[in-house]
């Protein structure tokens, strides 16, 4: 049975174009259309959809206001943002993700470009991920609700003496990742005895905003990784969008190096490159963390990394994943050492690498 989709957009032309793209795929059917957030809210009170395609700038009630209303009304909906506001670096996109949107696609300013094959392909890939995801719990992330790293740090101090050698944490995430990362990174203590490198599937221009937001709630320094950055303990390096992040060694020190190969696993950045680049690094152990996301990115990279390095793999469990794709692929390949809920990932990392 085709999945039911609600389109929310104030432009009749865009509603028509998006409907054409969606209905041309037998997996989906546009069940309803709404001209603004207020009309969409009334529909969502009465009916359930497999996914909602939401514009941001609309009269009466815009996309952000609708997301807030859904939280207030405790209405669970799987929402993807399709708006011209989701341009490079748009802060409003991060606001939408924090308020419960699952993913986003940039809607071209030119309506004709919305009819292009490239846009249709990207749109349907995002819609597929959202439609197959779990509805969010509408939890609003705040510093107060997630800041318990002090207790975890004290726990780690008891175990740190048993940990030897240099270690690094490498994290991969995709759909649902921006919210999930806010349940992991802020729980890591500033004295973490390892650098953290991270690939979150996002297009060019959005990773800086994500890094800045996570940094505000974290003891660790969180930054968008720049070419030539030397890795240091207690710092998180998020790969920028549109390039593949690698870790290379120079005189015993490790640094960030970007490459421009084509998309791999359909994404750029691709976590496989990050994992594989650590094979020749001076670290004694790589702690790989695979979190929520569609597809299989990370599986091949970890498999290749294990041929040369000691690796400990932490995978997020099915119940807490927005999309149980990447961790499932890791588990099916027999690569996981431990599978835990989202709320326990930080603890697993801390106990594996220790604190200074």
The active-site residue, picked from 133, 297, 312, 329, is: 297
CA-wise closest residue to 71 among 138, 145, 135, 8: 138
CA dist., res. 92 & res. 274, Å (int): 29
Catalytic residue among 83, 133, 153, 201: 201
Q: What is the H or E stretch that residue 257 is in?
A: strand 253-259
Residue 110, classified by CB atoms within 10 Å of its CB into exposed (0-12), middle (13-18) or buried (19+), is exposed
Q: What's the CA gap between 307 and 278, in Å, rounded?
A: 11
Q: Which of 83, 160, 174, 329 is catalytic?
A: 174
Residue 88 neighbours by CB under 8 Å, 6+ apart: 203, 204, 205, 206
Tell me the β-bridge partners of 83.
106
Query: What is residue 204's DSSP assignment?
Result: T
Distance of alpha carbon 188 from alpha carbon 199, whole angstroms: 17
Q: How far is CA 275 from CA 28, 32, 64, 125, 245, in A?
A: 35, 43, 36, 24, 10
Please confirm, yes or no, whether 201 is among the known catalytic residues. Answer: yes
Q: Is 174 a residue of the active site?
A: yes
- Report yes or no: 201 and 239 within 8 Å, Cβ to Cβ: no
Alpha helices in 226-320 (DSSP H): 271-277, 299-306
Residues that are catalytic: 174, 201, 297
């Amino acid at each position: 049975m085709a999945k039911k989709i609600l389109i929310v957009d104030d432009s009749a032309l865009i509603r028509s174009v998006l409907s054409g793209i969606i209905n041309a795929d037998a997996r989906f059917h546009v069940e309803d259309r709404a001209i603004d957030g207020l009309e969409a809210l009334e529909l969502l009170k009465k009916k359930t959809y497999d996914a909602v395609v939401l514009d941001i700038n609309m009269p009466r009630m815009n996309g952000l206001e609708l997301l807030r209303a859904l939280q207030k009304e405790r209405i669970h909906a799987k929402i993807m943002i399709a708006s011209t506001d989701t341009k490079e670096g748009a802060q409003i996109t991060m606001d939408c993700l924090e308020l419960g949107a699952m993913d986003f696609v940039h809607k071209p300013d030119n309506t004709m470009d919305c009819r292009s094959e490239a846009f249709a392909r990207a749109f349907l890939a995002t819609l597929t991920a959202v439609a197959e995801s779990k509805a969010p719990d509408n939890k609003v992330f705040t510093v107060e609700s997630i800041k318990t790293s002090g207790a975890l740090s004290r726990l780690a101090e008891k175990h740190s003496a048993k940990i030897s050698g240099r270690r690094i944490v490498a994290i991969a995430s995709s759909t649902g990742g921006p919210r999930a990362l806010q349940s992991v990174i802020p729980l890591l203590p500033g004295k973490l005895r390892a650098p953290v490198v991270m690939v979150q599937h996002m297009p060019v221009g959005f990773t800086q905003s994500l890094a800045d937001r996570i940094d505000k709630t974290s003891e660790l320094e969180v930054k968008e990784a720049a070419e030539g950055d030397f890795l240091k303990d207690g710092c998180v390096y998020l790969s920028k969008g549109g390039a593949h992040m690698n870790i290379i060694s120079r005189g015993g020190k490790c640094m960030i190096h970007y490459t421009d190969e084509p998309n791999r696993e359909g994404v750029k950045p691709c976590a496989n490159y990050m994992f594989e680049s650590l094979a020749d690094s001076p670290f004694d152990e790589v702690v790989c963390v695979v979190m929520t996301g569609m597809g299989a990115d990370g599986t091949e990279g970890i498999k290749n990394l294990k041929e040369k390095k000691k690796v400990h793999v932490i995978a997020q469990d099915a119940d807490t994943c927005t999309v149980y794709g990447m961790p499932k692929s890791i588990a099916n390949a027999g690569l996981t050492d431990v599978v835990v809920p989202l709320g326990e990932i930080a603890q697993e990392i801390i106990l594996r690498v220790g604190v200074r």
